[in-house]
Amino acid sequence: MRERVYLDWNATTPLRSEARAAMIAAMDVAGNPSSVHAEGRAAKALVEKARVQVAEAVGCKPAEVVFTSGATEAAAVLRGFGAVEVDPTAHDCLWSQRRAGQGVAVLAWGYANNETGVIAEAPAHDGPVMLDIVQAVGKVPFAFGWSGADMAIISAHKFGGPKGVGALIVRDGFEVPALLTGGGQEMGRRAGTENIVGIAGMGAAAEAAQRDLADGVWDGVAELRNILETALASGSNNTISVGKGGPRLPNTLSLIAPGWKGETQVMAMDLAGFAISAGSACSSGKVRESRVLRAMGFDGGQAAQAIRISLGPTTTKAQVLRFADVWSAQYAKARARVA
């Protein structure tokens, strides 16, 4: 039996060894980070170490990092603003927050799209700006301090950290409503005892991810993505590679295969031993066309025939070439059935 090949890194990444080690160590720290005794201070030190690690990876000040349960919770801070304009290709956690209202509108923008990998700078905007940099962290150079944004959202499990922990980045001096009220933790912006195990893992993963970026690891991943893209195009001359030729994440390939539904492709490749998706992991279980691709100008049929293949640093050339061979053979069979 051949090994399974994981090609769904944009959905979630495997846990990094550095994150695992940090989490195991944090499990032995008994104190509450809000307590002033030695045990509490030890727990607080873990949280603050991770805050520095995340800040360095994101390019912001440590005091601008507010730990949350993930990017979706971080995006919920938009509920405290009267009007929210949203990038039509943004992730659902932002798209669900759009609304008209009074006063200056907040612009919520998806900096690096999770389905297509397309990178797009936010347009000029008179009001506050929130960036979704969930997919960008650790994969492409980015510095919140230079972005001009007021807020950003990130999630640990997209760069090798644990699931269920993330952060809201808030520019120093910019006021936001509290995500949760209560004990006043996280500088009064998100009450509740901090998840020190998850936060420790997030910090360690952020540091390792930044190191990989500096070492050029993702340049190698981009080469593999391009090899895969070429191989798939060779196997079929009517596929559409979304975003090709423009700025993209180095690991992401969004492919439209006319005549073959995305969810059918996912099932066929799963049976063949490959994990891919038909869009965002948050919505891929729902049989529907991609809202993102429709917003980019593709028709309903095309939007329903797309898959997302996302690679990681451990992906090999042999794996992507085997995927290309298997996918091309399956596509030929699918086209023959409808001919």
Looking at 197, 214, 231, the residue that finishes a domain is 214
Q: Examine the pLDDT at 307 and tell me if it is beyond 60.
A: yes
- Token look-up 């993330």 returns 166
Give helix 196-214 / helix 38-58 axis angle, nearest 10°.
Answer: 30
| Residue 200: both structure tokens together | 């420790």
Gap between the Cα atoms of 114 and 192, Å rounded: 29
Shared domain check, 138 and 67: yes
DSSP code per residue over 144-162? HHHH--SEEEEEGGGTTS-
Q: Examine the pLDDT at 339 and tell me if it is beyond 70.
A: no
Looking at 164, 181, 214, the residue that finishes a domain is 214
Q: Do the beta carbons of residue 111 and residue 122 sit within 8 Å? A: yes
Q: Do the beta carbons of residue 210 and residue 57 sit within 8 Å? A: yes
Which among 241, 229, 242, 307 is positioned nearest to 275, based on CA atoms? 307
Read off the pLDDT band of 112 (50, 70, 90): very high
Q: Do the beta carbons of residue 293 and residue 105 sit within 8 Å? A: no
Q: Examine the pLDDT at 287 and tell me if it is beyond 80.
A: no
Looking at 196, 214, 232, the residue that finishes a domain is 214
Average the pLDDT over each of 8-22, 24-38, 234-248 and give the range with the smallest value: 234-248
Report the amino acid identity of residue 100.
A
Shared domain check, 232 and 197: no
Shared domain check, 250 and 188: no
Shared domain check, 300 and 258: yes
Shared domain check, 277 and 207: no
Shared domain check, 204 and 220: no
| Catalytic machinery residues | 282
Q: The domain spanning residue 231 has which CATH number?
A: 3.90.1150.10
Shared domain check, 229 and 186: no
Q: The domain spanning residue 203 has which CATH number?
A: 3.40.640.10
Q: What is the pLDDT of residue 283?
A: 47
Q: Do the beta carbons of residue 39 and residue 49 sit within 8 Å? A: no
Q: Examine the pLDDT at 94 and tell me if it is beyond 60.
A: yes
Average pLDDT (142-146) is 96
Number of domains in the chain: 2
Which among 5, 10, 86 is positioned nearest to 254, based on CA atoms? 10
Shared domain check, 246 and 153: no
Which among 113, 104, 117 is positioned nearest to 218, based on CA atoms? 117
Q: Examine the pLDDT at 211 and tell me if it is beyond 50.
A: yes
| Domain limits for position 207 | 17-214
Shared domain check, 229 and 173: no
Q: Examine the pLDDT at 338 and tell me if it is beyond 80.
A: no
Shared domain check, 236 and 210: no
Shared domain check, 152 and 43: yes
Q: What is the pLDDT of residue 1?
A: 64
Average pLDDT (204-227) is 98
Residue 182 burial class via C-beta count within 10 angstroms: exposed 0-12, middle 13-18, buried 19 and up: exposed
Q: What is the pLDDT of residue 3?
A: 87
Which among 262, 235, 263 is positioned nearest to 325, based on CA atoms? 235
Shared domain check, 307 and 195: no
Q: Count CB neighbours of 212 within 10 A.
A: 18
- CB contact set of 67 (below 8 Å; sequence gap of 6+): 47, 50, 51, 165, 166, 167, 186, 190, 194, 195, 199, 202
